[in-house]
Amino acid sequence: MSIDVIRGEDVRDLLGMRTRAAYLMVGFYGLACVLLAAYMLTSVSHWWPVVVAAVLCTAGAITLVTASGDPLPPRYTAALTLIGPVSSGFVLAVVPVPVTTTLQTWTFGATTAIYTFMCVRGRTLCAWIGLAATMATASLWASWTGQGALHGVAITVINVAPLLMATFFAFTIRPLGKAIFTLRQQSTQRAATEAAASAILDERDAQLDRLDELARPLLARIASGTPLTPDELLACRLLEAHLRDGLRAPGLTDQATAAAARRARTRGVEVVMLDDRGMADSDDTVRQRLLEHVSARLDGVTGTVTVRIMPPGRVNLATILISTDDDVTRLEYDHEGHLIPTETRGHGAVHEAIDV
């Protein structure tokens, strides 16, 4: 029974196995293994197998709380499954026969603790295999030392009880954990959807307020039925062009550029703004640099000006095409917003700049 990882979450999140308290418990576990190993050093025939057993158990506990993935990945599962028989084999090979204290078989309890958490990490069957292998190791040792195989079973069978409880806990908490993670994901998605919808509504309200501020006076003037003056007609044309820029070229409609475009149109310059989203991923410095270039060009041109942000993936970031009665000048800007060498072309270049 397993829980699919949902956005990096697994049962460790539910049980707090990634918290500082969990790492502190692992530290206490490792310290206990070291103290137990140190306690029995004087009563064993060789000291190094006991040290190896302590290192293996400590490493297993660290792996349980740090290994990512749910269920526990196979390579970690195999290593943890072998900790019980291997560490117990090292210790049993050097303890006195018969043992003088149960502390000399501390690896049985230490590895059972690892197996209980293996159940929680989704490897219940392997945990039972590990415990069974540990019991088999104890039985073989007891048989070889003349104590009888049943003695080995007797001193390890007590560890079946905690593993049974861990198995029951795993089959209870893991499906619940999956449901919790699913609900958490749905809640996050719902919050993101609501936030996006709220942002859309806020933007719509802001645009409506802006439109009301810009267009209402002229609309009221038109609705009055009185003929518009030349200045009012010009104001209508400028407002229409400004609103069109906001729809067709949102990346080019900051305050300074909009003001420069208005001044150019007031002088009789035909200004066309196009934004094909090639600047969507550019940083603010590049955007500001390009807009400053656009504003400067609009303030000093005559004729027709076409400003275009190129589509993503093009060689250039943007172009400015200036068409007069005498010639056509094409200005190109790189993806850092810098002007690159200009190119003078015939009148046919106008269509190229718009369609390419």
DSSP, residue by residue, 83-140: HHHHHHHHHHTTS-SS-SSGGGGHHHHHHHHHHHHHHHTT-HHHHHHHHHHHHHHHHH
Q: For residue range 152-210, what is the model confidence (pLDDT) as tens digits?
A: 999 999 999 999 999 998 888 777 767 776 777 788 888 888 888 888 888 777 767 76
Count of alpha carbons within 13 angstroms of residue 43, beta-carbon side: 18
- pLDDT higher than 60, residue 320: yes
Cα-only R_g, the chain: 38
Q: What is the pLDDT of residue 74?
A: 92
**Per-residue confidence band for 225, with pLDDT thresholds at 50, 70 and 90:** confident
Q: How many other C-beta atoms lie within 10 A of the C-beta of residue 264? A: 20
Q: For residue range 125-154, what is the model confidence (pLDDT) as tens digits?
A: 999 999 999 999 999 999 999 999 999 999
Rounded average pLDDT over 351-355: 38
**Per-residue confidence band for 2, with pLDDT thresholds at 50, 70 and 90:** very low
C-alpha–C-alpha distance, residues 346 and 327, integer Å:
6
Q: 4-8, 40-44, 257-261: lowest mean pLDDT where?
A: 4-8
C-alpha–C-alpha distance, residues 175 and 187, integer Å:
18
Quickly list DSSP for 197-227: HHHHHHHHHHHHHHHHHHHHHHHHHHHT-PP
- pTM recorded for the entire structure: 0.55
